[in-house]
Amino acid sequence: MTRILTLVIYAVAAALAIAFGRRERSQVPTVEELLGKVMVTRTGRACSLLFWLWVGWHFFAR
């Protein structure tokens, strides 16, 4: 039950972030803008990879 609740909360938070990021004059960058800025550096790419591995390990490897 706790795992499902956690996943639902993260999904709602992501949906809200996407919704607010798409409004006009919003200060919140879109996911595309955020990833574009992160992927410019080697450190950003490495952190993205580590984050994706962490997500996969904790949520999908059961």
- Note the pTM of the prediction, 2 decimals: 0.53
Q: According to the model, what pLDDT value does residue 10 have?
A: 94
Q: According to the model, what pLDDT value does residue 43 have?
A: 96
Q: What percentage of the chain reaches a pLDDT higher than 90?
A: 48
Is the pLDDT at 21 greater than 70? The verdict is no
**Which residue has better confidence, 51 or 60?**
51
Q: According to the model, what pLDDT value does residue 44 have?
A: 94
What is the DSSP code string of the chain? -HHHHHHHHHHHHHHHHHHHHTSTT-SSPPHHHHHHHHTTSHHHHHHHHHHHHHHIIIII--
The residues spanned by each domain of the chain are 2-60
Which candidate, 28, 39, 16, places its Cα nearest to that of 52?
Answer: 39
Q: What integer best gives the mean pLDDT of the chain?
A: 86
